[in-house]
Amino acid sequence: MSVAETTTVARTTEDRPLRVAVIVGSVREGRLGPAVTDWFLGTAAEADPGLEFDVIDLAEVDLPLVMPGWGGTPSPEAAAALRDVSPRLAGADAFVVVTPEYNHSFPAALKNLLDWHLREWQAKPVGFVSYGGLGGGLRAVEQLRLVFAELHALTVRDSVSLHGPWSGLGEDGVPRDAEVCAGAVKGMLGQLTWWGRALRSARAERPYAG
């Protein structure tokens, strides 16, 4: 590719809206994940109207726990689920994971989605919105950072942490201190969009070698 062609591709890539896949990590009955996600999307739209969001709710993704061996073929059920979700992950420029904390970690359904994919995550940034309990889901986020590092993804430093009903998160999934939480969303998205655009341009110019 010539210098002129590279410059044209870079400009075209830079001009496109950043596509952000928002992953709802909890599948538990009575979960707050969808309500927290709705609040985040509304707040994010005000903070940065130039983003395109695609919500992937894992309660609607029927990925089995049994995986094929190396080089094997997924079951028909797994293949059907992958046909829906894998292109959406691959087409995303960045990710936001909405997760509670389960037993000092994150939900099994979320780990299952991560393990079914590899290249879809590579050289892309990941932000977090965590919720629940006194810790606001931060221990789940810390463990997710380790997993995403292994998947060659980049996690942004700042996250959004919503604490339990007794310390700021309402039973409807909406933060009681909306102004502070909206500021956290703006900060996290600022980092996510910077890395999202930088890495998207880098991938367009030179495919990631991981």
H or E element in which residue 54 lies: strand 51-57
User: Which two structure tokens, joined as six digits, stand for 120?
Assistant: 């879809």
Task: Indicate whether 3 belongs to any domain.
Answer: no
33-47 helix and 178-205 helix, angle to the nearest 10 degrees = 70
Partners of 128 in the β-ladder: 97
Q: Is residue 165's pLDDT more than 70? A: no
pLDDT of residue 174: 84
- Answer whether residue 97 is part of any domain: yes
Domain annotation covers residue 12: no
When divided into structural domains, the chain yields a total of 1
Residue bearing the bigger pLDDT, 93 or 6? 93
Domain that holds residue 103: 18-64+77-205
Flag whether 148 is in a domain. Answer: yes
Does some domain include residue 72? no
Give domain status of residue 2, yes or no: no
Averaged pLDDT score across all residues of the chain: 92
Reported as a single tens digit per residue, the pLDDT across 28-78 is 999 999 999 999 999 999 999 999 999 999 999 999 999 999 889 999 999
Q: Is the pLDDT of residue 167 over 90?
A: no
Residue pair 191/15 in contact by the 8 Å Cβ criterion: no
Could you give the CA distance from residue 196 to residue 33 in angstroms, rounded to a whole number? 24
How far apart CA 199 and CA 124 sit, in angstroms, is 6
Residue 164 has pLDDT above 90, yes or no: no
- pLDDT for residue 101: 95
Residue 107 resides in a domain: yes
Structural Rg of the chain based on CA atoms:
17
Q: What is the percentage of the chain residues whose pLDDT exceeds 90? A: 80
Does 207 have pLDDT greater than 70? yes
Ranking 3-12, 68-77, 122-131, 134-143 by mean pLDDT, the lowest is 3-12
- What CATH number is attached to the domain comprising 97? 3.40.50.360
Q: Report the distance separating Cα 30 and Cα 141, nearest Å.
A: 21
Domain assignment of residue 144, yes or no: yes
